[in-house]
Amino acid sequence: MNLYAIFAIYVLFWVISAFIMLPFGIRTPDETGEQLLKGQADSAPSNFRPAVVVLRATILSGLLFGLYYANYVQGWITLDMLPGYTHQN
């Protein structure tokens, strides 16, 4: 696997991890006791911290990519092991 493929796959893992981490730790104004501003949605977060989301996504994507790369190198799970998959030459 070349360096460009490693980078591209890691970026995909990072973006997916960022979307997974977005809802964790978010509180609405109703939960924090803050008053809503005029025009503010009831579900709008009052404590959004993007740096925490980036850190959590980086950690999760590193773990997931590490597992992916270890499987790529070691061959723990291959396409031939999946049920219903037939290899065609």
- CA-nearest of 82, 21, 87, 17 to 9 is 17
Give the range among 10-14, 15-19, 38-42, 69-73 with minimum mean pLDDT: 38-42
Give pLDDT tens digits for 10-34: 999 999 999 999 999 999 888 888 8
Rg of the chain in Å (alpha carbons): 20
DSSP secondary structure string, 32-75? HTPPPPTT--TT--SS--HHHHHHHHHHHHHHHHHHHHHHHHH-
Element (H, E) at 83: none
Does residue 80 have a pLDDT over 80? yes
